[in-house]
């Protein structure tokens, strides 16, 4: 906040800020909601978890998917050199610390000299856990294998050495360029670890010259082994989609590594695709996040990762579980807990798209209609009691004022799909209720 006050105005407060939080595309809604809770607890935004007396932002938290933010930044910053047209597809691989996220965007609007102004998802976003942090873990495993007493030495309180070693490793990780003669050395002499390492080896009947314990040496073969698993993971995620795209863009902190850059370029240089790794790729997400928030219709359509619908009562069908079947007041067989889908997994959803269904009172004496919103990973879920169905929220409509209409009381439920939210709106159509409009907002898990 101090930096913002210096740059904008002295009296700027947190209540004036629109916070944009970037998250990996592979995160599920529970993880995103947890970040929202933490933002409230930190006093960034208002909400049930915000500490009392804190002047938090009145604006809602904007959750931005990291590869989408990177796509905005990259397409804006380098579009002049890409010769892109409507219909071209771009792969954006965000290779970060703990996740590898990929999106394939198809260009649907292009406005010179602005460049790309709208895209749509060509395939659902995808990815994996992995990235720079996993390379760091592989390095530490290599150190422990090389220096058998390393972990015990650090646990004994020698944390200063581990911090220096990790800082040195970050420089090596970025600088290694695949040269077969590359070596890097970390001095251990007089650190305490040199003597501990020598004593450990001798206790295990390993004898080397004293000076062999003075330095820790990484050569090119060691580094290739350390990088191999994560680089292979990145390439294997890109490879199935490379032929559908005109451009491959690679961003994220791990893309700052010379070895990673060379490995990706070497693998795909003969594919006929342009490969773009921008300067300072680790900042691409941050730079694109605000632009994406300001241009909410930049992503014109996404592909739903779940089926969304309402818990409903319908006519009983062959195969319905007996415990869900009941006889209504007209003597007809009905089935409760039916999943009435509004949008299916894999369906393309445009920004602002609306889908509506009408629901009716079940009995003539019914006083209210309750609506439970559910999601499911299945394309065609049958019931809301299925193990993988998730209740996203609920609300009810008072229909007691129109008892004269009996079972003809009709309520129209509409789902309006935003960038990452679904607004569920219920409005009576043939009568006026005390609360004539109810609205529920749930997170829309799109790819």
> How far, CA to CA in Å, does 77 sit from each of 80, 212, 251?
8, 49, 13
> What homologous superfamily is domain 67-298 in, according to CATH?
ATPase, nucleotide binding domain (3.30.420.40)
- Taking the C-alpha atoms of 416, 437, 398 and 343 in order, what is their torsion angle to the nearest 10 degrees? -10
Q: What is the pLDDT of residue 27?
A: 84
Average pLDDT over residues 303-320: 94
C-alpha to C-alpha distance for 208 and 197, rounded to whole angstroms: 11
Q: Under CATH, to which class is 304-443 assigned?
A: mainly beta
pTM for this structure? 0.82
> pLDDT digit string (tens) for 129-155?
999 999 999 999 999 999 999 999 999
* Residues 6 or more apart whose Cβ sits within 8 Å of residue 208: 198, 201
Average pLDDT over residues 229-247: 97
Q: What is the pLDDT of residue 443?
A: 59
What percent of the chain has pLDDT above 90?
66
**Confidence band for 82, pLDDT divided at 50, 70 and 90:** confident
> pLDDT digit string (tens) for 174-198?
999 999 999 999 999 989 999 999 9
* Residues 6 or more apart whose Cβ sits within 8 Å of residue 228: none
Residue spans in the chain of domains classed CATH 2.60.34.10: 304-443
Write down how long the chain is. 447
Average pLDDT over residues 15-25: 89
> pLDDT digit string (tens) for 83-133?
888 999 999 999 999 999 999 999 999 887 778 889 999 998 899 999 999
Residue spans in the chain of domains classed CATH 3.30.420.40: 67-298
C-alpha to C-alpha distance for 359 and 341, rounded to whole angstroms: 13
SS3 content of the chain, % helix, strand, coil (to 5): 35, 30, 35
Average pLDDT over residues 336-340: 97
Cβ–Cβ < 8 Å for 424, 359? no
Is 159 in a helix, a strand, or coil?
helix
Cis peptide before 172 (omega within 30 of 0): no
């Amino acid at each position: 906040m101090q930096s913002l006050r210096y740059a904008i105005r002295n009296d700027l407060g947190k209540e004036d800020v629109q916070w944009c939080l970037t998250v990996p595309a592979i995160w599920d809604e529970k993880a995103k909601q947890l970040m929202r809770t933490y933002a409230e607890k930190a006093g960034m935004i208002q909400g049930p978890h915000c500490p009392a007396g804190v002047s938090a932002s009145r604006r809602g938290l904007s959750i931005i998917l990291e590869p989408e933010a990177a796509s905005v930044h990259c397409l804006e910053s380098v579009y002049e050199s890409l010769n892109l047209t409507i219909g071209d597809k771009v792969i954006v691989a965000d290779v970060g610390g703990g996740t590898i996220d990929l999106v394939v965007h198809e260009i649907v609007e292009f406005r010179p000299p602005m460049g790309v102004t709208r895209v749509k998802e060509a395939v659902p976003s995808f990815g994996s856990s992995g990235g720079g942090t996993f390379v760091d873990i592989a390095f530490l495993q290599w150190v422990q294998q090389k220096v058998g007493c390393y972990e015990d030495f650090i646990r004994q309180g020698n944390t200063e050495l581990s911090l220096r070693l990790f800082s040195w490793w970050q420089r090596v990780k970025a600088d290694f360029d695949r040269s077969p003669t590359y070596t890097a050395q970390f001095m251990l002499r007089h650190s305490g670890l040199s003597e501990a390492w020598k004593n450990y080896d001798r206790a295990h009947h390993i004898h080397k010259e004293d000076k062999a314990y003075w330095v820790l040496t990484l050569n090119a073969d060691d580094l290739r082994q350390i990088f191999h698993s994560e680089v292979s993971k990145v390439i294997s995620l890109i490879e199935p989609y490379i032929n559908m795209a005109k451009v491959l863009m690679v961003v994220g902190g791990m893309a700052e590594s010379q070895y990673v850059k060379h490995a990706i370029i070497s693998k795909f240089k003969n594919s006929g695709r342009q490969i773009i790794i921008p300067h300072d790729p680790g900042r691409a997400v941050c730079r694109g996040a605000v632009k994406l928030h300001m241009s909410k219709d930049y992503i014109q359509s996404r592909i739903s990762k779940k089926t969304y619908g309402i818990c409903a009562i319908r006519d009983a069908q062959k195969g319905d579980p007996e415990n869900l079947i009941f006889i209504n007041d007209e003597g007809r067989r009905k089935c409760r807990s039916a999943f009435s889908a509004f949008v299916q997994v894999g369906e393309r959803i445009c920004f602002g798209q609306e889908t509506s269904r009408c629901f009716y009172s079940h009995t003539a004496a019914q006083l209210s209609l309750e609506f439970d919103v559910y999601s499911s990973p299945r394309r065609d879920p049958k019931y809301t009691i299925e193990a993988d169905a998730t209740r996203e929220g609920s609300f009810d409509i008072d229909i007691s004022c129109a008892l004269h209409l009996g079972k003809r009381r009709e309520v129209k439920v509409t789902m309006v799909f935003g960038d990452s939210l679904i607004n569920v709106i219920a409005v009576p159509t043939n009568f006026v209720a005390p609360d004539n409009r109810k609205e529920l907002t749930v997170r829309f898990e799109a790819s």
